[in-house]
Structure 1
Amino acid sequence: MLELREVSVRYPDGFEAVRGVNLSVESGTTVALLGASGSGKSSLLRGIAGLEALRGQVLIDGADMTAVPTHRRGVGMVFQDGQLFPNRSVGGNIAYGIEKGRSRAEVEAEVERWLELVELSGYTKRAVTTLSGGQAQRVALARSLAARPRVLLLDEPLSALDTRLREDLAVFLRRVLQKAGTTAVYVTHNDAEAATVADRVVRMDSGRLVAAG
């Protein structure tokens, strides 16, 4: 479970991007943060991940993570461009972060499991530079899920794709997140996409939560 208590994010220039947000995300569910550009969605996500300083509290499974470094929070992120490692294969990207302390056979089996979940079986040795935009985002999702994060944060992961592909992948994302049992926060400016992917939709405007569904 993710819980935010009076979370605010203020930048060095004094601009307050997020203002006193209170939000709970039940374990295994997805909440969409919906709003226009500049509404504070991405700043809130970065605050949850520990990439921006904040006031208030971020609790994950009851533990206060506010002062915990990003790499120890148990939080995964998927960005708009996927941010795959171009020098690693598809399998190498997914294996990143799960290789330590495991045998090669264990890692390969885990990679295949996640590739199957995102419907890319057989792509292990493919160069990521040969993937389509939709395929690259599926690899990015598998890489994040393979690390078994307690909370997964997705920042406009489909916004760079064309409308038809975005609609198809929204349905796909919903299915994968449910199968994985992941607690997730999904940022988007698209109403239909938010309704498709998430169990609950929360609207942001000027750094505040203004409506919840």
Structure 2
Amino acid sequence: MSEPRVLIVDDQELIRTGFRMILTARGIDVAGEASDGLAAVEAERRLRPDVVLMDIRMPVMDGLEATRRILARNPACRVLMLTTFDLDKYVYTALAMGASGFLLKDVTAEHLAAAVRLVGTGDALLAPSITRRLVQRFARSDDPPAVHRDLTALTPREREVLTMLGRGLSNTELAAELTLSEATVKTHVARIFAKLELRDRAQAVVLAYETGLVAPSTH
């Protein structure tokens, strides 16, 4: 499988340069860089990268609006948010918008390359424990992002699987808990994504909380 093409978006030149060096040294093609959200939207349209590494807080246009515009125009693009805090409300908003995951800026070189390759395949980058805490903190905030999905399209088994996805279980864990093969679990997950128009597991986790299938913890 070919390596993903990457667009690096950050207002700090040092971070862009460091990420470019790390990815290039590992055979990943860096298609370009941008220093603000508006430039990112224009660069994505021109360069058509597979993955965008997107900073959140930037001048001219922030990473959230840039992510919204990019995914509205090109849903096939994958966006990884860059942040300095793992429990950042903006990260949660980005996940609900369709970002495929997030990375802390102090990420190791190997993790950065592995993350880019993972989302380049169409999967989501999600540390379940961090994502659960993130969603628990913000899913019932005063102004959560709107998620409109009709769960009546799901079978009882699919609702059960979506609930477990919301709890952060992997396919292997789902298979063990439901006494099913991993292949069957993957089929259920694929059908859930298709019926609810979900991009990946990141959006599934957000949806499970926002529709009340999984309740945020009270502590």
Shared topology, TM-score over 0.5?
Answer: no
Identify the structure with the greater helix proportion: 2
Compute the TM-score of the two structures, normalised by the length of structure 1: 0.26
Compute the TM-score of the two structures, normalised by the length of structure 2: 0.26
- Could you say which structure has the greater relative contact order, defined with CA pairs below 8 angstroms and 6 or more residues apart? 1
Identify the structure with the greater strand proportion: 1
